[in-house]
Amino acid sequence: TVAALLGDAELVPITTSGDRDRAGGDKERWVKELERALLAGDVDLAVHSAKDVPSELPDGLELVGAPPREEPFDALVGAPSLLELRAGARVGTASLRRTAQLRALRDDRDVVAIRGNVDTRLLRLRDGDVDALVLAAAGLRRLGREAAIGCLLTELVPAAGQGTLVLEARAGDERAH
């Protein structure tokens, strides 16, 4: 559990603009509030999905570590394979990269934008809003939702950094390092 990993550390939940505003945008919307908290000294470390970290960090911050990479591939949830999805099936994803690749593989499916955290998306699948979802396999595993994976979509090219967590800290903060 997270508590066991943290030991005497305190977990500080921070809601990002990416969490609040589901509209598209750049990667900064997933990290800027965490980076502000780091720079203000409110937190000592921020944990990010590497795929969400912009290529340029704010002055005074640096990436200080990464645990071993998880599975980098996307996963199909709600069906055992892409081939078994009927023509016209509604496949939900929030990713332009996934949308383009899914349409290139088979254009007779309806790829629809679906946003929200993993639990919200799984509820939308359960409620019949979509026939299947495409989510990062690593995220599903880290959240204990591995049983939801119908198959790994090895035919899709994963996002750069997908499956990798990174730790960000203030530059020169030896305690955090």
| pLDDT recorded at residue 1 | 40
- Eight-class DSSP state of 65: E
CA distance 117 to 114: 10
Tell me the Ramachandran region of residue 61: left when phi exceeds 0, alpha when psi lies from -120 to 50, beta otherwise. beta
User: Could you list the active site residues?
Assistant: 52
Residue 89: name the closest of 41, 129, 37, 127 by CA: 129
The string of pLDDT tens digits covering residues 68-93 is 999 999 999 999 999 999 999 999 99
The string of pLDDT tens digits covering residues 59-71 is 999 999 999 999 9
| Regions of the chain where pLDDT drops below 50 | 1-2
| pLDDT recorded at residue 69 | 93
pTM of the complete model: 0.82
CA distance 48 to 83: 33
Residues 154-173, buried b or exposed e (16+ Cβ, 10 A)?
Answer: eebebbebbbbbbbbbbeeb
CA distance 124 to 28: 26
Contact 29, 115 (CB under 8 A): no
Unique residue bearing structure tokens 């470390």: 45
Residue 44: name the closest of 69, 30, 61, 67 by CA: 61
Q: What is the largest CA-CA distance in the chain?
A: 56
Which tokens in the block code for residue 101? 């690749």
